[in-house]
Amino acid sequence: MGSCDARHRRVLVLVRHGESRYNAEQIFTGLLDVDLSARGHAQIAAAARLMADAGLRPRLVLTSPLLRAVRTAEGIRATLCPEAPLRENWRLAERDYGCLTGVSKRECRERWGDEAFFTWRRTLEGRPPAATAAQRASWRGLDGAGLGPLVPGGSESLADVVERVRPLWGRLLPSLVAGEGPIAVVAHGNSLRALVLLACGLGADEVERLNIPAAQPLVLEFDGRGEPLERTGHYLDPRTAEIEAGRVADEGGT
C-alpha cells in the first residue's frame, strides 16, 4: 500500500457519510438504503480535500454496506488512495430504529413526545419499539444485502450498536498500534458514536452529547499502547464541524 508520514501510522479517520436524501428531509433512516442528496455528493469532495491537506491518505478504507456510506467511501478512496483496499462490514451499518424507521423527526415528537424522542434518540440504553408488520411492508429502499444477521425493524439501542461494533474495534486497534494506518472508517452517526465510545472510553453522558456531522473527518490518534492522544479526537475543519454538529443537535441529535 501507499506510503505515508510515520506520524500518521496510528491514526483512525472517521467520516460520517455525506448528507442523504432522508437526512435532508429529517427522516429517521436507520437500515433503509437511501442514496446521497446532491449536497451529500458535494460533501465527499470537501472531505477528501481536508484529508489530503492534512496528509492523511488511508492505507485501508472500511465502510458500512449501506449505499450512502459506500458512495462516500468510494469517492474518498478514488480521490486519495485508489490503491487502498475498500472493505464493507455489516457491523458499521446504521442503528436499527425500529418503529421510527422512515418516520420524520417532527412526527416522532408529535406521536411519542419529547421525552421518548430524547431517550430513544440520544441515550445509551434507550431502544424504540420494534416496527410493525405494516410499517415493514411500507418501507422502500430496504435491500438487506450485506447486513449480516441484522433484521431491519427489530430495533437497537446505542448500547446494542456498541456491542456489534466491539469485535471490529478489537481487530482495528492492534493494526493501529502496529502502525498500519492511517485507516479510514466511513459509516453512520450511531455506528461512529459507538466506535468513538470504544476507542476513547466515553461514558454514557459523554456519548449522549456526541454529535457527528456529515462528511467532517474526525481524527483519532493513538500511542504505542493503543491509548487515544485526545479525549474525542479532533476535526480537520473544527469550525465547520462545530456549526454542523450544532445543526445535528438542533434536530435532536445524530
Task: Report the CATH number that the domain containing residue 54 is assigned in CATH.
Answer: 3.40.50.1240
**In this structure, is residue 214 part of a structural domain?**
yes
* Gyration radius (Cα) of the chain, Å: 17
Q: In the beta sheet, which residues pair with residue 184?
A: 13, 61
Q: Which of 8, 17, 188, 221 is catalytic?
A: 17
DSSP calls for 14-41: EEEPPPBHHHHTTB--TT--PPBPHHHH
**In this structure, is residue 148 part of a structural domain?**
yes
Question: Starting at the edge strand that comes first in sequence, how are the strands of the sheet with 183-187 ordered?
Answer: 86-88, 60-63, 183-187, 11-16, 218-221, 234-235
Q: For the chain, what is the domain count? A: 1
Rounded to 5°, the CA angle 23-28-30 comes to: 100
Reply yes or no on whether 188 is catalytic.
Answer: no
Tell me the whole-structure pTM to 2 decimals: 0.94
- Could you list the pLDDT tens digit for every one of the 254 residues in the chain? 344 566 789 999 999 999 999 999 999 999 999 999 999 999 999 999 999 999 999 999 999 999 999 999 999 999 999 999 999 999 999 999 999 999 999 999 999 999 999 999 999 999 999 999 999 999 987 877 799 999 999 999 999 999 999 999 999 999 999 999 999 999 999 999 999 999 999 999 999 999 999 999 999 999 999 999 999 999 999 999 999 998 888 776 66
> Which domain range does residue 164 map to?
6-250
- Which segments of 54-185 does DSSP mark as H helices, in order? 67-80, 105-122, 133-138, 158-177
**In this structure, is residue 116 part of a structural domain?**
yes
Reply yes or no on whether 17 is catalytic.
Answer: yes
Q: Which of 94, 156, 221, 244 is catalytic?
A: 94
**In this structure, is residue 29 part of a structural domain?**
yes
**In this structure, is residue 1 part of a structural domain?**
no
